[in-house]
Amino acid sequence: MTKKTILRALAGETLPTPPIWMMRQAGRYLPEYRTTRAEAGDFLKLCYNPELAAEVTLQPIRRYGFDAAILFADILLLPQALGADLWFETGEGPRLSTIGDMAGVRALRPIADIHETLAPIYETVKLLAAELPRETTLIGFAGAPWTVATYMIAGRGTKDQGPAHALKSSDRAAFSALIDVITEATILYLSAQVSAGAEVVKLFDSWAGSLKGQDFTDFAVKPAARIISALKAMHPGLPVIAFPREGGDGYVGFARATGADCVAIDNSVTPEWAAAHVQIDGCVQGNLAPHHMVSGGQELVEATRHVVKAFRGGPHIFNLGHGITPDANPDNVQLMIDTVRGA
Residue range 82-110: mean pLDDT, rounded: 94
Residues 201 and 260: beta-carbon distance below 8 Å: no
Report whether pLDDT(123) > 60: yes
Residues 76 and 94: beta-carbon distance below 8 Å: yes
Report whether pLDDT(1) > 60: no
Report whether pLDDT(161) > 90: yes
The DSSP bridge partners found for residue 88 are: 94
Residue range 248-262: mean pLDDT, rounded: 98
**Which residue, 311, 241, 230, 320, is CA-closest to 23?**
320
pLDDT in the model for residue 90: 79
pLDDT in the model for residue 343: 62
User: Three-class SS of residue 110?
Assistant: coil
20 exposed, middle or buried (CB, 10 Å; 0-12, 13-18, 19+)? buried
pLDDT in the model for residue 11: 97
Residue range 101-120: mean pLDDT, rounded: 98
Residue range 108-120: mean pLDDT, rounded: 98
**Which residue, 262, 259, 121, is CA-closest to 195?**
121
- What φ, ψ does residue 200 adopt, rounded to 5°? -140, 150
CA angle 315–320–323, rounded 5-degree value: 135
Q: Which residues are marked as active site? A: 24, 28, 37, 74, 151
Q: Which domain holds residue 121?
A: 5-342
Report whether pLDDT(115) > 90: yes
pLDDT digits (tens, 9 = 90+) for 193-240: 999 999 999 999 999 999 999 999 999 999 999 999 999 999 999 999
Report whether pLDDT(73) > 60: yes
pLDDT digits (tens, 9 = 90+) for 21-30: 999 999 999 9
pLDDT in the model for residue 93: 87
Instruction: Please give the share of the chain, as a percent, with pLDDT higher than 90.
Output: 97
Domain with 11 in it: what CATH number? 3.20.20.210
The DSSP bridge partners found for residue 68 are: 137
Q: pLDDT confidence of 191, banded at 50, 70, 90?
A: very high
Residues 6 and 29: their CA atoms lie apart, in Å, by: 24
218 exposed, middle or buried (CB, 10 Å; 0-12, 13-18, 19+)? middle
Report whether pLDDT(117) > 60: yes
Is the peptide bond preceding residue 319 cis, with omega within 30 degrees of 0?
no
Name the domain count of the chain: 1
What is the overall mean pLDDT for the chain?
97
Q: pLDDT confidence of 91, banded at 50, 70, 90?
A: confident
Report whether pLDDT(339) > 90: yes
pLDDT in the model for residue 169: 97
pLDDT digits (tens, 9 = 90+) for 315-336: 999 999 999 999 999 999 999 9
Residues 141 and 227: their CA atoms lie apart, in Å, by: 12
pLDDT digits (tens, 9 = 90+) for 261-319: 999 999 999 999 999 999 999 999 999 999 999 999 999 999 999 999 999 999 999 99
